[in-house]
Structure 1
Amino acid sequence: MNAREEILRRLGETPAEPAAYAAIPRPYLRRHHEGDAVELFAERAADYRAEVRRIPGADLPAVLGALRGHYVVPDGLPADWTAGADVVRDDPPVSIAALDALDGVITGCAVAIAETGTVVLDHGPGQGRRALTLVPDHHVVVVESARIAADVPEALERLSPDRPLTFISGPSATSDIELSRVEGVHGPRRLTIVITD
């Protein structure tokens, strides 16, 4: 039997039981940092040119209310977060043309990864559909400190593999052959991360 035949044979087998999958040994290092994961996340996210602010949770409505412009918010985002902000709910879904005309989007996140400075969206409640986070020019992500995982393995344990995942490390950017950086080509030109307790 060659490798192709072996793979095709395995595809026909019944999937592993959840208990059997959980019992697979994973001896790799699961956490690289024992220090303050929130501080490390803020530092790494800023390295990727995100604007990072750490605030008490009670200040969140005032901070989001101070945003200038008209922002879209996904279904499931706590209404008290944006009590003073100029927002439109994405229910019914806002058209792509209307999203492009808005100043930005405010979302929550599923998890954030301190080691890489990455925000992960699984597009559940408060995170919205992918178009919300790709079309507007400014993405404001509220990261509750309890959602910050120290490392990638710890973050992946908190995520469901059957959800659509978007990993965001800084504003959208690309470089040409001469390494001239251009931001906003494939998504928001600005990324603001508001970390709350």
Structure 2
Amino acid sequence: MSARDEILARVRGATTDVTTPTGTLRREQLTDSGAADPDGLTQFAEMVADYRAEVVRVADHEVPAAIAAALRDHGCSSVVVPDGLDPVWVTAAEEVARVRREAETPTHADLDSTDAVVTAAALGIAVTGTIVLDHRADQGRRALTLVPDTHVCVVRADQVVQDVPHAVARLRPDAGDARPLTWISGPSATSDIELERVEGVHGPRTLVMLLVDG
């Protein structure tokens, strides 16, 4: 037996209890929406906040004012918006910052000179505190949410599911519906070998989530 075979045999032996199937969650078992209940929404908000993101719970009619407040509070003088973003939200952003449309920021340099981005979301996952973007018209292309330093993201309560299997089932209802996905668990951060946290290395330094109740 070669050294490689011996190492692989040891790995297989050490992981037998976790790799042997004990039951498989099939797609047909996920017939309900998996939407989070009120406790799940609270869990989602707490998990997102635990990642050092700012969480603001608002009613639907309060979203425009909350967007303006978030941009103002974080000193954002310019903001890029996806082409499909709610026009009312865009108008609110225009009250406090210079708005640039997605088409007006074709390069990373254009985005790097922009303070913030405002987007909607595809869904949220309660148990992990994760926001998922599938980059439809109200979320824009991936670079839009990776380069500006502040991301204001609006997540509706009915978009929050309880766990990852329900998230995947909702994101890809059939095998042919594949889209690029960005999974966001808090602001961008990394740690060096001495465990010193550095934020904003590979994405926004500041994440503000507006969770729309009701």
Indicate which of 87, 92, 103 corresponds to 1:84. 92
Aligned to 2:16: none
CA-CA distance at 1:93 after TM superposition:
4.1
Shift in Å at residue 75 of structure 1? 1.2
Partner of 1:108: 120
Partner Cα separation in structure 2 for residue 162 and residue 168 of structure 1 = 18
Higher helix proportion (structure 1 or 2): 2
How far did 1:34 drift?
Answer: 6.2
Which AA in structure 2 matches 1:146?
D
Question: Could you tell me how far apart the structure 2 residues matched to 1:99 and 1:46 are?
Answer: 26
Structure 2 counterpart of 1:63: 66
Instruction: Tell me the distance in 1 between the aligned counterparts of 2:28 and 2:211.
Output: 34
Cα contact 1:140–1:191 (8 A) shared by 2: yes
1:65–1:82 CA contact under 8 A, matched in 2: no
Alpha-carbon distance between aligned partners in 1 of 2:189 and 2:104, rounded to the nearest angstrom = 30
TM-score, structure 2 normalization = 0.75
Q: How many residues of Structure 1 are paired with residues of Structure 2 in the alignment? A: 173
**1:145-160 equivalent positions in 2, closer than 5 A:** 145-160=157-172
Unaligned runs of 5+ in 1: 1-22
Distance 1:171 1:84 in 2: 23
Partner of 2:50: 47
- Once residues 64 and 92 of structure 1 are traced to their aligned partners in structure 2, the CA distance between those partners, rounded to angstroms, is 21
8 Å CA contact retained: 1:65, 1:83: no
CA contact (8 A) 2:131 2:184 kept: yes
2:4 matched residue in structure 1: none
Counterparts of residues 1-197 of structure 1 (less than 5 Å): 36-66=39-69, 67-68=71-72, 69-85=77-93, 86=97, 87-160=99-172, 162-197=178-213
Contiguous gaps of at least 5 residues in structure 2: 1-25
Query: What amino acid sits opposite 1:71 in the alignment?
Result: V
Q: Indicate the RMSD between aligned Cα atoms, in angstroms.
A: 2.2
- Counterpart position of 1:5: none
Q: Percent identity?
A: 53
Runs of 4 or more, structure 1, over 3 Å off, are 23-27
- Residues 43-67 of structure 1: per-residue CA shift (max 9 Å, x gap): 0000111100001110111111232
CA drift of 1:95 comes to 2.4
Corresponding letter in the other structure for 2:195 = L
